[in-house]
Homo-oligomer: A and B are copies of this chain.
Amino acid sequence: MKATFTALAEHGYADLTIDRISEHFPKSEGLVFYHYDGKDEVLLDLLDYLLERFVQIGMPVPDDGDPETQLRSLFDQVIPQDNEQQARDYEIVLTELRMQAAQDKKFREQIDRSQNIFRDRVKEIVQNGIESGDFRDIDPDMVADFLTALFSGEIFERVTTGATRSIRSEIDSYIDYRLLTDKESDHDVGD
């Protein structure tokens, strides 16, 4: 997985070959070929591995916080604070693998699954927030779609442009103004 990751980060999907993966592999090339039919099979395994890590490391949110804290922590976890090379390689690799989903059903199924885990987590937090009265009576599906697209777009922008879009503080403002009921009650004080 490490050899495939490094080779994909370096060459991109189109120029990736089993030979190039093998260059980053301590064992003989034959061993790689023995297990896999071609690069797409290796890459599906890599995608599976990375998404499992994403689900395990990126997803858990302390259950003891209120919905507002949970939502903010979720974005703290999935949006990297620093733009170090390792984080950048990880995002390039994941984006290259996601791109295969445009043409390949097997990749699409994997991406669908992991995006839905993120989306469902957001939706669940929003639903809890509405029930607890912390959030306005909004449509949890709309908010989940909105924040999922935002999260995807932030990574895609960073991978494919020279710019870094600072979205973290505006997500906080979105939570403040659009989701929280507090803001409204601030204005109601004294009515």
Seen from chain A, the residues whose Cβ lies within 8 Å of a Cβ on chain B are: 11-15, 92, 95-96, 98-103, 108, 111-112, 115-116, 138, 141-143, 145-146, 148-154, 156-157, 159-163, 165-167, 169-171, 173-174, 177-178, 184, 187-188
Contact = CB atoms under 8 A, between A and B. Distances in A.
A49 to B, nearest CB: 18
- The secondary structure that dominates the A interface is helix
A35 to B, nearest CB: 22
Contacts of A96: 99, 102
B161 A108 contact: yes
A165 B149 CA distance: 7
Nearest to A141: B166
A143 B115 contact: no
Given A92-B102, A111-B160, A160-B99, A149 B167 contact: yes
B169 A142 contact: yes
Which has the most chain B C-beta neighbours within 10 Å: A102, A103, A111, A151? A102
A59 to B, nearest CB: 17
Contacts of A167: 145-146, 149
A169 B159 CA distance: 27
Contacts of A159: 101-102
A166 B142 contact: yes
A14 B160 CA distance: 17
A94 to B, nearest CB: 11
